[in-house]
Structure 1
Amino acid sequence: MKQPNGAKRAGIMDEEKEEHGIEQIIEQLLSALSEGEGNVHALLEEMRPEDIAEALDALGDEEMILIVHCIDKEIVADVLSNVEPDTLQVIMDNFGPEFIAEALDQMPTEDAAEIIDLLDVKSAAKLLELMKKETSVKRVLEYPEDTAGRFMSTHYIALNENLNPEKAIEYLRQKKRDENYYYVYVVDNDNKYKGLISIQELIFSHNEQTLGDLVEDQDIVAVPVEMDQENVAKLVEKYDMPALPVLDEDGRLVGRITVDDVIDVIREEHTEDMSKMAGTTDEELFAGSALKVARIRMPWLLACILGSLMSGAVIRFFELTLTHAIALVSFIPVIMSTGGNTGLQSCTVMVRRLALGSVSSYNVMENIFKEVRTALILGVVCGSFLYLITFFWRHNAYLGFIIGTSMFFAVSISSIVGMFIPIFFKRVNIDPAIASGPLITTINDIIGLAIYLLLSSLFLAHA
C-alpha cells in the first residue's frame, strides 16, 4: 500500500505515544473534539492515516463522523484504505457513495478492489458506477478469490529488453517517488517477462550491454496470476526476495507482489485458520449484528450438540456396567477431557506442519510414525499416573488397572486420530484447520468414552 502524500507527516511514533497506543490517540481526539474542529484539524495533521483509521474503528458512530469531517482531502484515501468494512459502511451512509468513490479512485487499484470486495453487492455496484477506475478494479475482481491476481500491485517498472542501462536509469529518474521499487522487470516487445534487475545492479552495469543481456542466463522466479495466496507467501519466503513478478498464463507481466503484500496475506491466512479452529469463520470479525454472528457460529455448535448426544448414547449403552460399578462414573470426565485434549494437541501440531509445508508425500510416513510413538509414550505416562491416583484414592488395585488401561488407550488412540484427520482432510482438498477445535474435541470425547466403558465392561465381566 502506498505511503500517504506529504512526506513531512512524522506521525505519532515517539516512545510515550507508542506506549499508550490507540487508547491515548482516542483520548486526544475526543479531547480535541470537545474544544472545536480547529483542534481536531491540528491533531490530525500530526497523525498518520493508519493511526486515524484505527481510531475511527474504535470510536462510536457520532464521534467518528465528526472526525471524518476534519480529515484533509489529501489523506482521506489513505485513511479509508485502512478502516474496517463496517466503519466504511457507516461513512458511506453519512457522506454518500460519491465521497467514498472519490477516495477509492485515489487508492492503488488493488486496494480499491479489496475494499469493494468486502462490501455488500448493492453498495459495491453503486461505487463501481461512480468510479473512474471502474474498469481496472473490475479486472482485478475477475481473478479468483485468494489468488495472486487479487492482491498484486499493478505499479511496477517494466522496460524493454533492448534498452541499455543508461536509458533505463534516465527513465527511472522521471518516475514519481510514490512507490518503493526494488527491481526493474525486463520484457520483450510482447510484454513477455524475461527477468529482473535490481536497481543497484542497474546502476553499476555497463552501457554496452542491453537489459536483455543482463538477464539472459537468469533463472525465472515468478508467480502465476492464479496461484493461491498462501503458496505465494511461501514462495516469497523461500526465495527471500522483496518483490516477485506476477505473470499471466501466456507469460506476460501483469503485476508484482511485495513483502508488504505477503505480510497482509499471512495475517489473513492466520486469522482464517484460527477462526476455523474455533468453529467459526473470519467473516465474524466484520459482522455488524449479533444475529449474524450467531448465524456464523451456530452450525458447529449444533454439530457439537449432536456429538454430545452420541456420547450420551454410549453411556446409555453401557448403563448396566455403570450400575454395577458406580465408581467408574467419577472417572468419566478425566478420561474424556484428557483424551480430547491430547487429540487436540496432536491435531493442532499436524495442522501447523501442513500449513508450513513440512509434511509432504515424501515424509508423511515419518511424521506418522513419530506421532504414533509420541501417542504411545503419552498413553503410558497418563495411564500410569491415573493408575497410581486411583490406587491411593480408592485403595483398589484392580479398579486402578481398569482406569489406567482405559486412559492409555484413550490417550493413544485420540492422539493418533487427531493426527490422521488433518492429513485426510488435506488429501481430499479440505482445509485441515477445520479438523481442529470443536470437531476433533467432539470426536475424541466419543472415542475416549467408548474405549473406557468398553474396556471396563470387558474387565468386569472377567473379574
Structure 2
Amino acid sequence: MAINDLTIQPSEPARLPDKEPLGKDVSREAVVSGQSKSDARLVSIQRLLRRGAITNLAKMLARMHPADIANVIDHLSSLKEKREIFELVRGDVKRGQVLSELDGESITLVLSDLLPSDAAWLLKDLGSDDIAHILSVIPNDRAKDILALMRTEDSTEIADLLKYPKGTAGGIMTTEFFALSEDATAQEAIRRLQQATDAEMVFYIYVTDKDDRLVGVLSLRQLLTVPPATPLKNIMTRDLISVAVDMDQEEVSRQVASYNLLAIPVVERDGKLVGIITVDDVVDVIREEATEDMLKMAGAIEEDSMFKSSSMVAARVRLPWLFTNLVGSLLSGMLLWLFRYTIQEVVAIVSFIPVIAAMGGNVGLQSSTLIIRGLATGMVELTDVWKIFFREAKIAFLMGIACSLMLTIVGWLWHQVFLGMVVGVSLITAFLVSTSMATVMPIVLKRMGVDPAVAAGPFVTTANDITGIAIYLTLATIFLEQIR
C-alpha cells in the first residue's frame, strides 16, 4: 500500500487537531502515567491508529529514531497496523534503517506485499551484513528475487555472506572494512581514509600483505603522529586479535569484551582478511545468547518467549522438560512409599518433606545459574572447577547452618527436639549435595561439548528434590527410635 493511499484529506472528520501529543511529548506522558517511554510511545501510536490520524502519525514517526519505530512495529499485534506504520515512515533511507532493526517475523510481514524491486531499493543503502540478515529471515525464493535486482558487486558480496552458517563470525560480519597494504605510507593512508565512503566504521586500519593476509593493525592516532612517508609496516601492531570465519558468535563476543575492542577482524583459515565485526553487532549477539541461555534453562524457545510460535509447537517443546519433572515427582513418590513404615511410625516427619525438597532444589538452582552464566561470559573456565566447587560448598555450608538452626528450633517447638535436629542435619547435607551436583554438572557437560544451559532449570531442581528427600528420610529412619 503506498503512502498516498493512506493520506486523509483535511476535510475528513477523522483527522485529529494538532494538539495531539507528538514524539517529544511522549516522555512527559510516560512520567505522569508511570509507563516507560517506549510503552507510552506505543500507546500513543495505537491511539492515533484507531482514530485514523494519519497526518499526526507521520509527524510523530518523523521525529522518532529508526530503532524506536522498529520497536513499535514489532509490538503491534495487527499485520495491517505493522504495514501501515512502515508505509508512513518518510524517506527510503530511513525506511531501510527501520527494516534493519525489525525482528524476523516483522521483516517477513512488512516485505510480503512489496515488489522485489521496491524491496531491493529499500535495502540499497544498508550495510552488507544488515542486508544479509534481512534476506536470511525471509523465504529463499523471495530473497533470491531481491538479490537478483541489486547491483552485481553488492549481490555477490551479500551472497558470499549468506553462505556462512548462522551464529558464526562469518554470518554476522560486514565486508565493508578499511584495509591497506603494509607498504603504503601514512600520507597515502590518510588520503585513502578521506576518500573512504563505503567502510562500515573506521575504528582501526587493518594492514595486509600482498596476498591480502592480515598482518597488523593500527589506530588513527598512530597514523596521525608519524611522518607522512612512514610505511605502515613500521608502525603497525603485529600482535593483534582476530577470529576465524567459523568461530561461534558467542566466542566472538567474549573476545571483543575481553580485549575491549570496538571491532574485530575476521579471517579465513589461510589468514586472509574477509570482514570485520563491530561492537554494535556484538551487543546484539550478547543479548541473543543471554536470552537463549535463559530460555534453555526454562525449557522454552525464543519463538515461544515472544509469543510467535503456535500453541502446538510451544507445547511440544515444553513437554520434555515437564516430563522430566513428572518422572522426578514419581521417583519422589516412590521414595515416600519405600519409607512408608518410617512415616507411619512418626507422622510428624511429613511436615518437613516439602521444606527439605524446596530448599535443596533452590540452592542447587542458584549455584547452577551462577556457573552457567560464568561459563557463558568467560568468567569461569574449565580449569577453575575445583576452586569453584569448594567455594560453592563453603557457601552452601554457611547457608545450611543458618537455615538448619531455624528449622531445628521450629522442629523442637512444633514436635520434639530430636526431630528438629534430624531436620537441621538433613538440610545441611541436602545443601552440600545439591550445590555439589549443580556446580559440577554444568562443567562436566561443558567438557563433553554439551551446552551447560540444559543442565539447569527442571533437571537440576528435580534431581536435587529427590536427593533432599532421600537424605531426610534416610536420617529419619536411622534415628527412628530417638524421634518417636
TM (norm. structure 2) is 0.86
Distance verdict in 2 for CA 1:361–1:425, change over 3 Å = closer
Q: Which amino acid aligns with 1:41?
A: A
CA contact (8 A) 2:173 2:276 kept: yes
Q: Displacement, 1:322?
A: 1.3
1:144 matched to which residue of 2? 165
**Does the aligned pair in 2 maintain the 1:378–1:412 contact within 8 Å?**
no
**Are residues 1:88 and 2:104 paired?**
no
CA RMSD of aligned residues (A): 2.4
> Is residue 124 of structure 2 the alignment partner of residue 124 of structure 1?
no
In structure 1, C-alpha distance between the alignment counterparts of 2:117 and 2:323, rounded to whole Å: 43
Aligned to 2:330: 309
User: 2-side partners of 1:208 and 1:363: how far apart?
Assistant: 50
* Aligned positions of 1:17-416 closer than 5 A: 20-33=36-49, 34-59=51-76, 60-72=78-90, 73-95=92-114, 99-119=118-138, 123-131=139-147, 132=150, 133-176=154-197, 179-215=200-236, 218-286=238-306, 287-394=308-415, 396-416=416-436
Q: In the alignment, which residue of structure 2 is the partner of 1:3? A: none
The one-character-per-residue Cα deviations of 1:295-321 (angstroms, maximum 9, x if unpaired) are 222221122111111111111221222
The number of equivalent residue pairs is: 448
Residues of 2 paired with 1:457 and 1:89: CA distance?
63
Q: Deviations over 1:44-86 (max 9, x none)?
A: 2222111111111122222222222222322221111111222
Bigger mean CA deviation after superposition, 32-41 or 438-447: 32-41
Between the aligned partners of 1:379 and 1:183, the Cα distance in structure 2 is 53
Query: Do 1:336 and 1:445's aligned partners in 2 also have CA atoms closer than 8 Å?
Result: yes
Moved more, 435-444 or 124-133: 124-133
| 2:440 equivalent to 1:423 | no
The equivalent residue for 1:4 is: none
The alignment partner of 1:230 has SS state of: helix
CA distance in 1 between partners of 2:83 and 2:277 (Å): 34
Structure 2: 5+ residue stretches without partners:
1-22
The alpha-carbon deviation at position 31 of structure 1 amounts to 5.0
Closer, same or farther: CA 413–367 of 1 in aligned 2, 3 Å? same
Counterpart-to-counterpart distance in 2, 1:280 and 1:98: 38
1:148–1:232 contact (8 Å) kept in structure 2: yes
CA offsets 1:103-151 (integer angstroms, 9 cap, x no match): 34543222222233344xxx13322233135543332232233221111
Moved more, 313-322 or 110-119: 110-119
**Further displaced range: 205-214 or 328-337:** 205-214
**Distance change (3 Å), C-alpha of 1:323 and 1:376:** same
SS state of the match for residue 185, structure 1? strand
CA distance in 2, matches of 1:40, 1:298: 44
Per-residue CA shift, 1:208-228, capped at 9, x if unaligned? Answer: 21112222x631222222222
Quote the offset at 1:190 in angstroms. Answer: 1.2
- Sort the Cα spacing of 1:39 and 1:378 in 2 relative to 1 into closer, same or farther, 3 A: closer
Structure 1 residues 433-457: Cα deviation after superposition (integer angstroms, max 9, x where no partner): 2221111111111111111112211
Decide whether the 8 Å contact of 1:347 with 1:418 is kept in 2: yes
Range 197-206 or range 52-61, more displaced: 197-206
Q: Distance in 1 between matches of 2:135 and 2:467?
A: 46
Matches within 5 A, 1:420-459: 420-459=440-479
Q: Which moved more, 1:186-195 or 1:38-47?
A: 38-47
The two structures have a TM-score, normalised by structure 1, of 0.89
| Counterpart secondary structure, 2:479 | helix
Instruction: Please report how far the alpha carbon of residue 14 of structure 1 lies from its aligned counterpart in structure 2 after TM superposition.
Output: 9.1
Corresponding letter in the other structure for 1:61: L
- Work out whether residues 86 and 288 of structure 1, in 8 Å CA contact, stay in contact via their aligned partners in 2: no
Q: Contact between 1:26 and 1:55, CA under 8 Å: does it hold in 2?
A: yes
Cα distance, 1:386 vs. partner? 0.9
Query: Structure 1 residues 332, 26: CA separation in 2 closer, same or farther (over 3 Å shift)?
Result: same
What's the offset of the Cα at 1:391?
0.3
Q: Check whether the contact 1:346–1:415 (CA below 8 A) recurs between aligned residues.
A: yes
Q: Secondary structure of the equivalent of 2:93? A: helix
Q: Residue 16 and residue 310 in structure 1: after superposition, are their counterparts in 2 closer, same or farther (change >3 A)?
A: same
Is the 1:148–1:228 Cα contact (8 Å) retained in structure 2? yes
Shift of 1:177: 7.1
In 1, distance between residues paired with 2:469 and 2:414? Answer: 22
Identity of aligned residues (%): 35
CA distance 1:177–1:253, shift in 2 (3 Å) = closer
**CA offset at residue 338 of structure 1?**
0.7
CA distance in 2, matches of 1:78, 1:17: 27
